[in-house]
Structure 1
Amino acid sequence: MTTRLQNNIRKPINKLNLLAAVTDNDSKPVPETEPKTIAQALKSLVWRKAMDEEFNSLIRNKTWNLVPPSTSKNVIGCKWVFRIKRHPDGTIKQYKARLVARGFHQRPGVDYNETFSPVVKPTTVRLILSVATSQDDIIVASNTPQFLEDFISKISQRFSLKDLGELSYFLGVEILPHPDGLFLSQKKYINDILCKAKMDDVKPVATPLATHAPLMLEAYIVYLGRNPISWTSRKKKTRARSSTETEYRTVASATTEILWIRNLFQELGLTLPTTPIYCDNAGATYVSANPVFHSKMKHLGLDYHFVRENVQSGKLRVSYISTNDQLADALTKPLPRTTYTSMFAKLVFPLGQRF
């Protein structure tokens, strides 16, 4: 037997292994990230297929009409946007490509006169999911199944629709089914932010803040039944002269959000009874309903006094609640671990298990 060395072959032997990767063609693995440019996308079979589907859909729906260019008109370009849709467990569900217009090339007063951005509030999504049956991509809600079927049928006559089944992921929110209803989670969204900031390997902590951290915040939580659908925690815009004034301003902020939600219910053809607001400051509750006590707060702006007007009209009811039961404190105070854990358990309605 003649060895490699005897034949003056000194190149290292390539060690082979049996590892295999799923590929989109014979040589390239299935992409796990979204391409930033069209040049990157064209190198992958799955992204080229997604682009074909998008372009064919635009042609089928007669999205545009080809016309000769005009020297008096600004020609708006377009670009490809690529996104990966994932299942709740993180596996890839679909590769999506969208051809979008470069609207920022438009000139105001020449190419358009008005702008409108149909942005949905997270509160709206949570509210709809609390009261409606849902489908993916476009959430369709109705309390009459026949109306729902007729609506989808009419829309499908004009647009290309695909029923994706039960809602599982919408606008960055994971929707997980549970015997008691739906559990909304933004775990993947949070993990993506941590990965982007290169903090995905940091150690978790028991509480959001150290117990000695000074805070000057105002917060409220709005529940629909036992489901929290809206909340906020932010720095105070002005310095208050008393705790009563501080709490009253927070009640006023919560009132604004509640009135918006009540109007949304009216648009959905639903009515709400008197909405209670629970405040742990007795003085603020008196100011909301008692015009005599109100005279001591003349330095407050008149715009805040619409709280009392809505209480008198029967839309709202401001009631006192003990500080120990005030759930919004979890958003404003640096609580110790035991208190925070107990407060958090009350904050989210019990599901019997943690997701």
Structure 2
Amino acid sequence: MTASTNNKDVKDVKNFVWYPDSGATNHLTADPALIHNPMENFGSEWTWSRVPLPPHRKAIGCKWVFKIKQNPDGTVQSHAQQLISSLSFSFGLKQLGKLDYFLGINVKHLHDGSLHLNQSKYVKDFIERAHMHLAKTSSIPMANNYKLTKHDGQPFEDPTLYRSIVGQPLQFHWIVVKRILRYVQGTNTYGIHLKHAPSLVSLSTTTFCDVDWATGTDDRKSISGACLFLGPNSITWWSKKQNTVSKSSSEAKYRSLALATQELSWVESLLTELQLSYKTHMVLCDNLSTVIMTHNHVLHNRTKYIELDLFIVRDKIQAKTMHVNHIPSEFQTVDVLTKPLCTNKFLSLRRQLKVQEASVVQGVY
């Protein structure tokens, strides 16, 4: 490696460059020795050699940077100097073609321009780690008569394997986990089907929210769930145990509605930031009393425990940025996320969630 420099840059102490940092003073007294010594050291250690600039080559600009490190009491700790180069360069970008894999997600492009997303590679690795790749598949992830507790059954004989898959190791829990893994194995080609939304109209947002009331056997806490559609596509869904015990199903469902409203607010801010127009948000709930409460401005005694949740929802309704409507239970898509279901209902709601096998949608190109 060769380098080219200029004697004037080295000897002219007036043209130094000074970059203070958190431990450096803002003033510097230039000493020619600080400049000459590093150059001599470079030569003596064979760090580089001075050579004439080859023809048709451009020299890289160099500058000296000096620093004075200070102790906490202000005394000088050390002098430091460094020769740095200022580079400017350009590089080419390669067109990689259509996206087909990203962050563990397989992306398939369909003839109509829509996308099919799945995690078949991740599922395959996951199943093999659990030693379930030869197991018989299951059409649903969980039987609808299962009720689990923290202390149900004997401890699992291989806690390391169990914890690597899900969590607390008990024998009966592992039976349930294996059922889920068999379901995942049989649906590893399933994924989310994303379609084009109409470009000339405002986007519609529809949120389904529900709760499985007092389902926790150990603590009687409820399971909230919601899924949000942007146009024809489901873009987010979740289910989680509520933090407190609800005294009624209406109270539990209203808490779930408030959580869905907060998620909807985040999507609303994202759409606004992207300067995308959208219609008034629609939230669908299968509990009629919950829907009535959202439009009733009088707080009753039975709603005092969810007063904050009431205001979160009502602020949106009064601002006319959100509507809450009733939906029959058989069309409540989010039930698939909050409770075990019979096979027919599970498969029906899974289709409503836009989870489909790649072969069902249009061909890949």
Alignment pair present for 1:161 and 2:74 = no
* 3-state SS, counterpart of residue 277 of structure 1: strand
Aligned to 1:287: 293
The C-alpha deviation readout for 1:289-340, integer Å capped at 9, x for no partner, is 2112666411214255211110111111110000011000011121111221
* 3-state SS, counterpart of residue 299 of structure 1: helix
Larger strand share, 1 or 2? 2
In structure 2, give the amino acid aligned to 1:314: K
Relative to 1, partners in 2 of residues 1:299 and 1:166: Cα closer, same or farther, differing over 3 Å? Answer: same
Aligned to 1:171: 103
The C-alpha deviation readout for 1:96-136, integer Å capped at 9, x for no partner, is xxxxxxxxxxxxxxxxxxxxxxxxxxxxxxxxxxxxxxxxx
Name the Cα RMSD after superposition.
3.1
Structure of higher CA gyration radius: 2
Aligned to 1:192: 125
* Offset at residue 70 of structure 1 (A): 11
Distance in 2 of aligned mates of 1:159 and 1:321 = 56
Relative to 1, partners in 2 of residues 1:236 and 1:303: Cα closer, same or farther, differing over 3 Å? Answer: closer
| Aligned 8 A contact 1:287 1:308 in 2 | no
Distance in 2 of aligned mates of 1:171 and 1:204 = 26
| Aligned 8 A contact 1:218 1:332 in 2 | yes
Distance in 2 of aligned mates of 1:174 and 1:274 = 33
State percent identity of aligned pairs: 33
Distance in 1 of aligned mates of 2:351 and 2:235 = 16
Residue among 328, 351, 363 paired with 1:322: 328
Moved over 6 A (4+): 67-72, 349-352
Aligned to 2:360: 354
* Offset at residue 196 of structure 1 (A): 2.9
Distance in 2 of aligned mates of 1:184 and 1:283 = 38
Distance in 1 of aligned mates of 2:302 and 2:315 = 17
Aligned to 1:182: 115
Distance in 2 of aligned mates of 1:306 and 1:239 = 19
Distance in 1 of aligned mates of 2:228 and 2:350 = 15
* Offset at residue 68 of structure 1 (A): 11
Q: Normalising by the residue count of structure 2, what TM-score does the alignment of the two structures yield?
A: 0.51
Q: Normalising by the residue count of structure 1, what TM-score does the alignment of the two structures yield?
A: 0.53
Relative to 1, partners in 2 of residues 1:68 and 1:259: Cα closer, same or farther, differing over 3 Å? Answer: same
Answer 1 or 2: higher relative contact order, Cα 8 Å, separation at least 6: 2
| Aligned 8 A contact 1:209 1:334 in 2 | yes
Alignment of 1:1-355 (within 5 A): 161-180=93-112, 181-214=114-147, 215=215, 216-292=222-298, 296-348=302-354, 353-354=359-360
Relative to 1, partners in 2 of residues 1:349 and 1:224: Cα closer, same or farther, differing over 3 Å? Answer: farther
Distance in 1 of aligned mates of 2:136 and 2:227 = 28
Unmatched runs of 5 consecutive residues or more in structure 1: 1-64, 73-156
Question: What number of residue pairs does the alignment pair up?
Answer: 208
The C-alpha deviation readout for 1:183-207, integer Å capped at 9, x for no partner, is 1112222222222333333322121
| Aligned 8 A contact 1:280 1:326 in 2 | yes
| Aligned 8 A contact 2:286 2:328 in 1 | yes
Unmatched runs of 5 consecutive residues or more in structure 2: 1-62, 71-88, 148-214, 216-221
